[in-house]
């Protein structure tokens, strides 16, 4: 049953120790920072986390890892210049890592959400990351058997939710959000805007069937979105529009 709650703390209150939590975001775009902070405050531990990365600097997922609340992480790119908390936990043998190519990571969650029991992917064939996995040759090409990744919970950031839980996202902040929403038993969404009116059905990206808990939390995304709407209303181009291509800029120099 869809619920709208007032705080991030309420939104994550169902997450228990040992849960598998899918966390959206690619870099800072689409990262549900306030939900992750609330998960930190909730005290839940022994978590398995699925995210593209393994936390950056001293915020969000990096802090969960620093406090050893993450027993296992499934991700594609844990090594970044500012992922020192993961580095330390990993080198101390205090976090388990399952490294998955980024496209397989997304597709494994898509499979879970779509009721697929496994799929043959060409990605990773003949590499270390396919070792021990079933390989099949189909029409002369090699594929590796990959299994679904299901979450008990998903924490994602969308831009807006309507009263039916339908979601729209903003630019590349969409990234893993729609896929994770389908792959978790309970999907928790933070949005910049909780709408009073239904979204245009043609514009819905994640239908409300995948959404369980919504909390409205204003972030920088809302500030940018308002600037963009003001510009469009005033007949100016969106601020994020390129005025020139890379080739034109290079030619100017």
Partner 1 sequence: MSEMSEQTTETADVQAFRSTDAPLTQDELARVIADDIAPGSFVNLGIGQPTTVSNYLSPEKKVTLHTENGMLGFGPQATGDQVDEDLINAGKIPVTELPGASYFHHADSFAMMRGGHLDVCVLGAYQVSATGDLANWSTGKPGAIPAVGGAMDLAIGAKDTYVMMDLFTKKGDRKLMAECTFPLTGVGCVSRIYSDKAVLLLDPSGVVTVRELHGLTFEELQDKHPDVRFEKAGA
The smaller minimum CB distance to partner 1, of residues 32 and 44, is found at 32
Measure the CA–CA gap between 165 and 60, rounded to whole angstroms.
25
User: What's the distance, Cα to Cα, between the start and end of the chain in Å?
Assistant: 58
Binding residue for partner 1, selected from 87, 193, 195, 204, defined by CB under 8 A:
87
Q: Is 159 helix (H, G, I), strand (E, B) or coil?
A: strand
Q: How many CB atoms lie within 10 A of CB 114?
A: 13
* Binding to partner 1 in span 95-124, by CB under 8 A: 97, 99-107, 109-110, 121-124
The smaller minimum CB distance to partner 1, of residues 1 and 251, is found at 251
Minimal distance, residue 139 CB to partner 1, in Å: 13
Do the Cβ atoms of 23 and 155 come closer than 8 Å? yes
Minimal distance, residue 248 CB to partner 1, in Å: 7
Decide: is 236 part of the binding site for partner 1 (CB under 8 A): no
Decide: is 125 part of the binding site for partner 1 (CB under 8 A): yes
Decide: is 248 part of the binding site for partner 1 (CB under 8 A): yes
Q: What are the distances in angstroms from CA 186 to CA 15, 58, 161, 211, 225?
A: 10, 27, 16, 7, 28
User: CA geometry: angle at 15 spanning 193 and 98, to 5°?
Assistant: 100
Q: Contact positions toward partner 1, by CB under 8 A? A: 26-30, 76-80, 86-87, 90, 97, 99-107, 109-110, 121-129, 142, 169-179, 205, 220-221, 224, 238-242, 244-250
């Amino acid at each position: 049953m869809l619920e709208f709650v007032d705080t991030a703390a309420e939104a994550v209150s169902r997450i228990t120790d040992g849960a598998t939590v899918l966390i959206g975001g690619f870099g800072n775009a689409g990262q549900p920072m306030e939900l992750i902070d609330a998960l930190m405050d909730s005290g839940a531990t022994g978590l398995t986390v699925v995210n593209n990365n393994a936390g950056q600097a001293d915020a969000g997922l990096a802090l969960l890892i620093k406090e050893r609340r993450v027993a296992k992480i499934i991700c594609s790119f844990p090594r970044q210049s500012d992922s020192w908390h993961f580095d330390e936990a990993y080198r101390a043998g205090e976090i388990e890592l399952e490294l998955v190519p980024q496209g397989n990571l997304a597709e494994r969650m898509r499979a879970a959400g779509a009721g697929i029991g496994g799929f043959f992917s060409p990605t990773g064939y003949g590499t270390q990351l396919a070792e021990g996995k079933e390989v099949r040759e189909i029409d002369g090409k090699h594929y590796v058997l990959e299994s679904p990744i299901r979450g008990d919970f998903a924490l994602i950031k969308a831009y807006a939710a309507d009263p039916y839980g339908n979601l729209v996202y903003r630019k590349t902040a969409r990234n893993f959000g729609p896929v994770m929403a389908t792959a978790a038993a309970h999907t928790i969404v933070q949005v910049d805007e909780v709408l009073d009116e239904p979204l245009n059905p043609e514009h819905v990206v994640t239908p409300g069937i995948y959404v369980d808990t919504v909390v409205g939390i204003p972030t920088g995304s809302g500030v940018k979105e308002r600037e963009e709407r003001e510009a469009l209303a005033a007949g100016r181009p969106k601020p994020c529009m390129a005025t020139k291509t890379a080739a034109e800029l290079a030619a100017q120099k």
